[in-house]
Amino acid sequence: MDVFTLIAFASTCFLIFLKASTAIDSISPSEPLPHGKTLVSNDGSFELGFFRPGSSGNRYLGIWYKNIPVGTVVWVANRVNPINDSSGMLMVTTTGDLQLLSQNITVVWSANSTKAAQNPILQLLNSGNLVLIDGRDGNSGAYLWQSFDYPSDTLLPGMKLGWDLRTGLDRRLLAWKNSDDPSPGDFTWEIELQGNPEAVLWKGSQKYFRSGPWNGIGFSGAPYLGPDNLVFSYEFVSNEEEVYYMFSLKNKSLLSRIVLNQTDYTRQRYTWSEETRTWKLLTFVPNEYCDKYGLCGTNGNCDSTQLPACQCLKGFKPKSPGGWSSGDWSQGCVRNKPLNCQAGDGFIQFGTLKLPDATHSWVNKTMSLKECRGKCLQNCSCMAYTSLDIRGRGSGCVIWFGDLVDIRQFQFGGQDLFIRMSALELGYGKKQVVIIVISVMLTGMVVIGLLCYIWIKRRRKQGGGENEEMELPIFDLTTIVKATDNFSSDNMLGQGGFGPVYKMLIYEYMPNKSLDYFIFDQTKKALIDWQRRMHITGGIARGLLYLHQDSRLRIIHRDLKASNVLLDKDMNPKISDFGLARMFLGDQTEARTKRVVGTYGYMSPEYAVDGHFSIKSDVFSFGVIVLEIISGKKNRGFHHPDHNHNLLGHVWRLWMEERALEVMDTMLGDSYTVSKVLRCIHVALLCVQKRPEDRPDMSSVVLMLGSENPLPQPKLPGFYVERNLPKEEVSSSPIKCVSVNEVTISKLQGR
């Protein structure tokens, strides 16, 4: 039995013991809380009373969830001084102090109020916070004392983890020693105060795991935990008065908690499943090899996708080559070429990183990134810099001094870091820099001039037209003929909406072709079972999340479809064909075009009809793809003898009739899990809702696909009816050119 099973068992025992106890709603000097009575919150969510953990004979005063069958303690008062008999009484003194007595005389725990009170009252709030108030103040929120300031091993929604700098109060979690003993162990979670604060897990006196600094969106060491989701919201405050992290629940009916587990030294987030009547583990850290603090030593970079996982940063080499090759990376890496501050050092940009340990860092909240670079160059001890806040175009400045420790490489997410390098490592000196800059500027001017000339000349030939920006590069015929060996069929790989694809015109060859090659073929679809289909679905979701949120510029694909999802030799998906993609700058979230491009069957309603597109347009396309993956059928061209709906309408109809499993591809046999299938269908229907504001963003989609939290009910999907339009209707439809083989189509404008 693990520690949580033991805790659950023990808690159940003491809850049964307290069934006959009397519940009260407050404690005052005239009415203490003796053994046999409990204090209950107004909504009945939490309960305060005496309990015995596990097989221990000791008794403690604690708070637990009241209305769930698995007893779960979230706070303990007398962790260090248990009561070893049946006595015990919690009292509020007339001056507003709390005292826990044994044998009615010995004080085993006490808490002092911040100021004197004439009418002190102790109450348990619906949040699980035990508060001492002055009855004269009512419910003003002015607490004389609160348990949320002195957490045990559990962080609840609305509870602050961090510092009150005005009083020096450090709110941190300390794990239970074991299931029988709630006294503090050696596993701690706290906010470390420094130039750039971050959350740190300690194992004894050694750093065990750190979150990475907060970058305005999240912790740089947790890129998959996006701020915009349907379950949680996060807050990190760092000012002259407070530094703290806090999470809240968007759905107040949910139960969720973060707890430290000393048995396996992990920080775990649980949510309560009403369906299974158990706590479900949602996330935990550390959860993989590269989470271990400082695994690769100084100036090393841990990448869990590589073997070995530890790599020296570019410009560095192992300090101990023999130890490094044998798997001992503790000595880290040293520079290939030493820095020379007077000779013109520069920087190399590294992307998608967990930022280094911020112990030796400096922060300025008002500097731009350019000013930050200059500040770092002026100080010969500065080793790296980046933006403090990456929202929008970025703001603020963080610089690091000395060796860089505990860097980790992510595939997407993370943050950019600019690391100082010598001019010799960069391959140029000051004079070369000037020459290169001038050369690049001149070349750029020539190229821009040529492109403008070609564009103007082409526009004149076409008789003018609307002022649309040029979205694709222009190649002359001679270049294309040479690149394709005079359009040789031997060089052609396939054909898309813009024409044939040739080997000299692609950047990476995908041996397993595209997703539609498998899921829409009656023979080949048998090669991808449920697990592989879900692997592909998750890969597409994470790829879109990178485009929408984690890349430097927000990218809207605008033509996401099964044929544009390529598969490598291991069936890993890669989103392709960015010929129609648009980039958003700064805080831009949506745009409108007069030239609608995309593929009918995958386009969202607001885009196809009005030309409005945003990240929610791609979300709609993703939802269509998920339903196609599950069913093995195309959305457009779907036929059913009982109705004229397309695939979206068919799934919606089955969903409303609680027969959603009937949409499953029969080739999957029994390789799937019913709950997983229903969840995927549920998420897909949320993505294809008619109104873009109702659809989740991709960070929420990734979270929903990977968890078991309750989901909102989907609304009517967009474009859910398929009609066989006669020829005269096609010309008046929003899409002026439609192709049944799903090539890219455009809304043509007269010139």
pLDDT in tens, 107-145: 999 998 877 778 899 999 999 999 999 877 655 568 999
Please tell me whether residues 283 and 295 are part of one structural domain. Answer: no
Query: Considering the chain, what percentage of its residues have pLDDT values greater than 70?
Result: 82
CA angle (315 as vertex; 312, 316 as ends), nearest 5: 40
pLDDT interval class at 431 (50, 70, 90): low
Where a domain ends, among 98, 114, 146? 146
Report the alpha-carbon distance of residue 77 to residue 33 in Å, rounded: 14
pLDDT interval class at 11 (50, 70, 90): very low
Q: For 45-66, how does the pLDDT look when each residue is reduced to its tens digit (9 = 90+)?
A: 999 999 999 889 899 999 999 9
Q: What is the pLDDT of residue 718?
A: 85
Q: Look at residue 672 and tell me if it is in a domain.
A: yes
Closest CA to 315 of 333, 328, 330: 333
Q: What is the pLDDT of residue 589?
A: 72
Q: Write the DSSP assignment of 470-536 as a string of letters.
A: P-S----HHHHHHHTTTT-GGGEEEEETTEEEEGGG-SS--TT-BTHHHHT-TTGGGGS-HHHHHHH
Q: What is the pLDDT of residue 669?
A: 82
Please tell me whether residues 669 and 557 are part of one structural domain. Answer: yes
Catalytic residue among 97, 406, 559, 618: 559
Q: What is the pLDDT of residue 729?
A: 29
CATH number of the domain within which 692 lies:
1.10.510.10
Domain span at residue 519 reads 512-746
> What is the longest distance spanned by two Cα atoms in the chain?
100
- Measure Cα distances from 737 to 275, 596, 603, 719, 742 in Å: 48, 10, 14, 17, 11
Report the alpha-carbon distance of residue 388 to residue 375 in Å, rounded: 14
Mean pLDDT in the chain?
A: 83
Q: What is the pLDDT of residue 636?
A: 83
Report the alpha-carbon distance of residue 48 to residue 50 in Å, rounded: 7
Cis peptide before 710 (omega within 30 of 0): no
Please tell me whether residues 323 and 338 are part of one structural domain. Answer: yes
Q: Look at residue 459 and tell me if it is in a domain.
A: no
Mean pLDDT score, 448-464: 62
CA angle (547 as vertex; 543, 550 as ends), nearest 5: 100
Mean pLDDT score, 80-87: 89
Long-range contacts of 100-103 (CB under 8 A, 24+ apart): 100/61
Q: What is the pLDDT of residue 58?
A: 93
Where a domain ends, among 146, 174, 194? 146
Please tell me whether residues 99 and 137 are part of one structural domain. Answer: yes
Q: Look at residue 441 and tell me if it is in a domain.
A: no
Q: For 169-210, how does the pLDDT look when each residue is reduced to its tens digit (9 = 90+)?
A: 999 999 999 999 999 999 999 999 888 999 999 999 999 999
Please tell me whether residues 305 and 283 are part of one structural domain. Answer: no
Query: Considering the chain, what percentage of its residues have pLDDT values greater than 90?
Result: 50
726 has a pLDDT exceeding 70: no
Buried b (16+ CB within 10 A) or exposed e, 107-140: ebbebebeeebeebbbbbbebbbbbbbbeeeeee
pLDDT interval class at 671 (50, 70, 90): confident
20 has a pLDDT exceeding 50: no
Radius of gyration of the chain (CA): 31
Q: Is 559 a catalytic residue?
A: yes
Please tell me whether residues 552 and 696 are part of one structural domain. Answer: yes
| Region of poorest pLDDT, from 75-89, 326-340, 561-575, 712-726 | 712-726
Strands (E) located in 112-179: 120-124, 130-134, 145-146, 154-155, 161-164, 169-171, 173-178
Q: Which helix (H) or strand (E) holds 324?
A: helix 321-325
Report the alpha-carbon distance of residue 732 to residue 751 in Å, rounded: 19
Q: Are 231 and 709 in contact (CB under 8 A)?
A: yes
Which of 698 and 481 is assigned the larger pLDDT?
A: 698
Q: Look at residue 447 and tell me if it is in a domain.
A: no
Q: Look at residue 316 and tell me if it is in a domain.
A: yes
Cα-Cα-Cα-Cα torsion 542, 543, 545, 548, nearest 10 degrees, comes to 180
41 has a pLDDT exceeding 50: yes
Please tell me whether residues 521 and 620 are part of one structural domain. Answer: yes
Q: Which helix (H) or strand (E) holds 201?
A: strand 198-203
Please tell me whether residues 123 and 251 are part of one structural domain. Answer: no
Please tell me whether residues 616 and 722 are part of one structural domain. Answer: yes
Q: Which helix (H) or strand (E) holds 537?
A: helix 530-545
Q: For 246-288, how does the pLDDT look when each residue is reduced to its tens digit (9 = 90+)?
A: 999 988 889 999 999 999 999 999 999 998 999 999 889 998 8
Q: What is the pLDDT of residue 459?
A: 60
Report the alpha-carbon distance of residue 232 to residue 218 in Å, rounded: 12
18 has a pLDDT exceeding 60: no
445 has a pLDDT exceeding 90: no
Q: Look at residue 452 and tell me if it is in a domain.
A: no
pLDDT interval class at 420 (50, 70, 90): very high
Q: How many of the other CB atoms lie within 10 Å of CB of 750?
A: 5
Long-range contacts of 662-665 (CB under 8 A, 24+ apart): 663/627, 663/630, 663/631, 664/630, 664/631, 665/519, 665/525, 665/630, 665/631, 665/632, 665/633
Which of 249 and 737 is assigned the larger pLDDT?
A: 249
Q: What is the pLDDT of residue 637?
A: 78
Number of folded domains that form the chain: 5
Mean pLDDT score, 353-357: 95
Q: Look at residue 443 and tell me if it is in a domain.
A: no
366 has a pLDDT exceeding 70: yes
Q: Look at residue 446 and tell me if it is in a domain.
A: no
Q: What is the pLDDT of residue 543?
A: 93
Please tell me whether residues 127 and 160 are part of one structural domain. Answer: no
Please tell me whether residues 322 and 257 are part of one structural domain. Answer: no
Q: What is the pLDDT of residue 479?
A: 73
CATH number of the domain within which 58 lies:
2.90.10.10
pLDDT interval class at 25 (50, 70, 90): confident
Q: What is the pLDDT of residue 50?
A: 94
Cis peptide before 286 (omega within 30 of 0): yes
User: What residue type is assigned to position 611 of the chain?
Assistant: G
427 has a pLDDT exceeding 80: no
Where a domain ends, among 255, 287, 319? 287
SS3 of residue 684 by DSSP? helix
Q: For 402-416, how does the pLDDT look when each residue is reduced to its tens digit (9 = 90+)?
A: 999 999 998 877 899
Closest CA to 187 of 73, 264, 85, 290: 264
Strands (E) located in 355-478: 361-364, 382-386, 397-401, 407-409, 415-421
Which of 303 and 511 is assigned the larger pLDDT?
A: 303
Please tell me whether residues 588 and 669 are part of one structural domain. Answer: yes
Q: For 462-506, how does the pLDDT look when each residue is reduced to its tens digit (9 = 90+)?
A: 554 444 443 445 566 677 777 777 777 777 766 655 556 665 855
Report the alpha-carbon distance of residue 356 to residue 408 in Å, rounded: 8
Residue with tokens 């859910």: 720
